[in-house]
Amino acid sequence: MSEDALVGRVAALLDDLTAAVGPGPAAAELVAARTTLAGPLRVAVAGWMKAGKSTLLNALLGEPLAPTDAGECTRVLTEFRYGPEPAVAVVDAAGVAHPRPPHRDARGALDIDLDMDLEAVRRLEVAWPLPALAGVSYLDTPGLESPTPGLAARARRALLGELAGDRGVDAVIYLMRHLHASDVAFLEAFAVAPRSDSGPVNAVGVLARADEVGGGRLDAPVVAERVAARYRRDPRLRRLVQTVVPVNGLLAVAAGRLGEGEVAALGALAQLPGPRRAAVLRSAELLVAAPDLASVSPIVRAELIRHLGPFGVRMGAELLAAGEVEPDVLGVALRAASGIDGLRGLLQERFAARAGALSARSALAVAERVASGQDEPVRSQLLGQVEEVVANAPQLAELGALNLLRLAPPRMPAALLDEAEGLLGGFGTAPAERLGLGRAAGPDEVAGAALAAADRWRALSESPWGDVAATRLARVALRACEGMVAEVAPPT
């Protein structure tokens, strides 16, 4: 069953269920899930207060719409989605949308007068004509802060529960700052995961403010990558997210909107002798006060370092001084250094390519919840319908198996577990990626590898030594191999 077919069947199922439960809140929930199923991929951005959520969001949007002033700015759940015209609406507790003028401040950030009690606001909906919003919408969640774990977790789950109950979330980006892995806060940030329809398969971690990890030095990206690599290996994090990537959101936003004045200022810095340049860049105060940068006004200097951050300024000046980059493409080079493209690629590979299956999965979770809430015998009947769809969708079995691989890996050599994760599409869904071959691999090579993998996993699935979990995993992997064999070399 292809993804489209799966989405079609889930849509039909939701329609059936809506008719079966009759009008009421349950039906409304199903209708909402039905609408979302056809809509864009919904990605939530979650993390600690001040983790850099809004900055990252702006980097993903390519437009500094989310207010980022230091301090806790995002207080209400905000949804950014595509719209032909800029439009902003405040949705109240009753679900009624009140349009508001889409006013922006001097720095381009939305400046919306909610004109309503903060408690009465359910969410803010922002529609904007941005290319980055084609096919995906982002949910900016209020920052988290925790006193007592149980109570905080409940409050937080209520937040994401509302997210899920409302429209569902297909994927989550968790922002983490540089923390020690044994830190409470580190794991607490993940307590938000609504267990029912989320799991590592649709979550990625972002080491945000990556430039600060290395003290804003030129080698900050290297250090950040090292830290991210440690997180990727952490067994506790493996249960929570697919992978962890470092992103310097501040630089990504700035690089996309580098003004001429800023490039000129960086150029002036690049003119300074190396040691002198390093000396004036030791702090923002020193840069602003430096006497040998007469061509750049102190105000511009202050704005420059605020906008790009110490790392961005160092990097930009260094690139220009080395003559490696022409001023007109400096923005592109800085953007590459920010790591934002890596995250985008990841979202594309891991989420967008599975958008249908992920959406179907969220919708099925709603369907199952609604069905379970009915009285017998309707309950059993509806649950049976849900199970029928689930049982006939290998994509869902793959997602489930991928989650299990991370949550509770079966007893198997690590190399085999890695191979299984690849086969199930954990590292990309194209056959060559699943088989661990280069993108350039030809059809014959792919077919050969798929056949060999199929043999291997068939043997594992029939092995009398495997326990239940291992056997189940082997069967799903085998099915994935067979699917690829069929896809690459259709039977003649």
Partner 1 sequence: MTGAPLTAPTPRPTPQSTRPGARPEVFALARRAAGAYRRPDLERRIDRLTADLDARRTLVVVAGDFKAGKSTLVNLLLRMSVCPVDDDVATAVPMSIEHSPTTTVTLLHRPPRPAPGDVASAVGEATVPAGADAGTSEAAQDEVRRTPIAFEHLAAIVAPTDGEVDPELLGAEVGVPSPLLAGGLILADCPGDGGLGSFGRLRSLAQLAGAACLLFATDATSELNEAELSFLAVAAKVCPLVLVVLTKTDLVPAWRDVYDRNLGRLDDAGLGRIEQLAVSAHLRAYALADGDPGLDDASGMGRLERWLADRVLANAERLADRSALVGLLLCIDQLERQFDTERRALTDPAGAAGLTAELEEEASRLRGLRDGAARWQQVLNDGSTDLAAKVDLDLRQRLRRIEREAEESIDGEDPADIWETFEPWLYGRVADELAENFAILRTDASQLARTVAGLFHAAAETAEARLSPVDVAAVLGAVDSDASVELVRFKLSSRAFVAFRAGYGGVLMAKFLTGFGHAAEFAPAAAVMGILLGNKAVKDEAERQLNQRRAAARNAVRRYSGDVALVASAQVRDHARAVQRNLRDHFVEQADEFERGIKVALEQARASAMATGDARTRRLKDVESELERIRSLARLVAAAAQQPSPGGARPAALVSPDTVAVGAGSGA
Q: Which of residues 19-58 bind partner 1 (CB under 8 A)?
A: 48-50
Contact 211, 311 (CB under 8 A): yes
Closer Cβ to partner 1, 244 or 449, answer by number: 244
Candidates 28-36, 404-412, 445-453, 455-463: pick the segment binding partner 1 (CB under 8 A): 404-412
Q: Which two tokens stand for residue 138?
A: 């982002």
Q: How far apart are CA 105 and CA 118, in angstroms?
A: 21
CA dihedral of residues 384, 386, 391, 393 (deg, nearest 10): 160
Kindly tell me the burial class for residue 291, based on how many C-beta atoms sit within 10 Å of its own C-beta (0-12, 13-18, 19 or more): exposed
Contact criterion met (CB below 8 Å) for 61 and 108:
no
Closer residue to partner 1 (CB): 252 or 352:
252
Choosing from 407, 417, 430, 451, the residue that interacts with partner 1 (CB under 8 A) is 407
Contact 231, 207 (CB under 8 A): yes
Chain-centre distance for alpha carbon 25: 30
CA distances (Å), origin 105, targets 69, 111, 468: 12, 6, 59
Which residue, 177 or 434, is less far from partner 1 as judged by CB? 177
Judged by CB under 8 A, the stretch of 57-65, 87-95, 121-129, 306-314 that binds partner 1 is 306-314
Closest to partner 1 by CB, 244 vs 446, is 244
**Considering the complex, what minimum distance in angstroms separates the CB of residue 56 from partner 1?**
15
Question: Pairing between strand 171-176 and 203-207?
Answer: parallel
- DSSP count for the chain of H helices, then E strands: 22, 9
State the angle between helix axes of 394-407 and 355-372 in degrees (0 to 180), rounded to the nearest 10: 90
Exactly one of 170, 262, 318, 368 binds partner 1 (CB under 8 A); that residue is: 368
146 near partner 1 (CB under 8 A): yes
Looking at 2, 115, 117, 148, which residue binds partner 1 (CB under 8 A)? Answer: 148
Binds partner 1 by CB under 8 A, chosen from 27, 132, 155, 191 = 191
Q: Any idea how long the chain is?
A: 492
Spacing of C-alpha 118 from chain mean position: 27
Nearest to 417 by CA among 433, 428, 429, 404: 404
Q: If we measure between CA atoms, which residue out of 136, 123, 134 comes closest to residue 84?
A: 134
Of 241, 270, 404, 473, the one binding partner 1 (CB under 8 A) is 404
Alpha helices in 138-245 (DSSP H): 149-166, 184-188, 210-213, 220-233, 235-238
Of 433-472, which residues contact partner 1 (CB under 8 A)? 469
Closest CB 28 distance from partner 1, rounded Å: 22
Residue entry with tokens 């920052």: 143
CA atoms within 13 A of residue 9's CA, in its CB half-sphere:
19
* Cβ atoms 224, 211 nearer than 8 A: yes
- Applying the rule CB under 8 A, the residues between 97 and 126 that interact with partner 1 are none
The footprint of partner 1 on residues 214-243 (CB under 8 A) is: 214-216, 223, 226-227, 230, 236, 239
Buried b or exposed e, range 79-95, using 16+ CB within 10 angstroms = bbbbbeebbbbbbeeee
Interface pick for partner 1 out of 94, 118, 195, 491 (rule CB under 8 A)? 195
Q: How far apart are CA 74 and CA 199, in angstroms?
A: 25
Contact call for residue 299 and partner 1 (CB under 8 A): no
CB of 217 to partner 1, least distance (A): 9
CB 165, min distance to partner 1, A: 16
Q: How many residues interact with partner 1 (rule CB under 8 A)?
A: 63
208 contacts partner 1 (rule: CB under 8 A): no
Q: Interface with partner 1 includes 284 (CB under 8 A)? A: yes
Single residue of 15, 111, 285, 341 touching partner 1 by CB under 8 A: 285
| Least spacing, CB of residue 199 vs partner 1, in Å | 7
Q: According to CB under 8 A, which one of 159, 185, 333, 353 is a site residue for partner 1?
A: 185
Beta-strand pair 41-47/244-246: unpaired
Identify the residue among 47, 199, 339, 425 touching partner 1 (CB under 8 A): 199
Among 302, 325, 378, 416, binds partner 1 (CB under 8 A): 302
Which of these segments, 34-42, 86-94, 168-176, 205-213, binds partner 1 (CB under 8 A)?
205-213
CB of 449 to partner 1, least distance (A): 29
Two structure tokens written together for 152: 């905080």
Tokens of 139: 């949910």
Q: Is 71 in the site for partner 1 (CB under 8 A)?
A: yes
Beta carbon nearer to partner 1, 148 or 492: 148
Among 122, 167, 209, 335, binds partner 1 (CB under 8 A): 209
Using the rule CB under 8 A, which residue among 15, 98, 107, 196 binds partner 1?
Answer: 196
Exactly one of 19, 120, 158, 286 binds partner 1 (CB under 8 A); which one? 286
| CA geometry: angle 457, 462, 463, nearest 5 deg | 95
Q: Give Cα 270 distance to the centre of its chain.
A: 36
* Residues 142 and 75: beta-carbon distance below 8 Å: yes
Interface residues toward partner 1, by CB under 8 A: 48-50, 70-71, 145-151, 153-154, 177-180, 182-185, 187-188, 191, 195-196, 199, 209, 212-216, 223, 226-227, 230, 236, 239, 279, 282-286, 302, 305-306, 309-310, 365, 368, 383, 386-387, 390, 400, 403-404, 407-408, 469
